Amino acid sequence: MSVDFLGLRTVVYPAPDLQAAKKWWTSALNIEPYFDEPFYVGYAVAGYELALDPNGDPCAGPITYWGVEDAEAAEEAMLSAGATSHSGVKEVGGGIKVAIVRIPDGNLVGLIYNPHFKAE
């Protein structure tokens, strides 16, 4: 079983000081976030999402999410290939499902099923 990645979708940066990170990214990108809540801030950048997570672990670094058609099947394929589960599949709202696996070299890989994403 293999994973059919649809392409890059989202990168999520840990942002322990969410207000400072939001101020910096808003200035650097010269756009306002399209989603701005205390638990997550998202910017639409050139057809992709740059996000800030106040609960993210700065030691783990940013997490890049690859688009998939089926989050559960993609996670299972990654696990079958030797990855371990970092956070199992969960719905985060609007039918969007995400999972994070740790691949054998220690890196974290995000998987995202987002029925609303349209590649540009």
| Mean pLDDT of the region 23-35 | 97
- Listed in sequence order, the residues at least 6 apart from 67 whose beta carbon sits closer than 8 Å to its beta carbon are 5, 6, 7, 8, 9, 112, 113, 114, 117
pLDDT of amino acid 118: 80
- Judge whether residue 1 has pLDDT over 80: no
Reported as a single tens digit per residue, the pLDDT across 56-66 is: 999 989 999 99
pLDDT band at 34 (very low <50, low <70, confident <90, very high): very high
| Mean pLDDT of the region 5-23 | 96
| 109: number of Cβ within 10 Å | 19
Query: Which three-class secondary structure state does DSSP give residue 80?
Result: helix
Q: Are 44 and 34 spatial neighbours (Cβ–Cβ below 8 Å)?
A: yes
Least confident stretch, 15-29, 87-101, 106-120: 106-120
pLDDT of amino acid 66: 97
pTM: 0.89
Burial of 79 (0-12, 13-18, 19+ CB in 10 A): middle
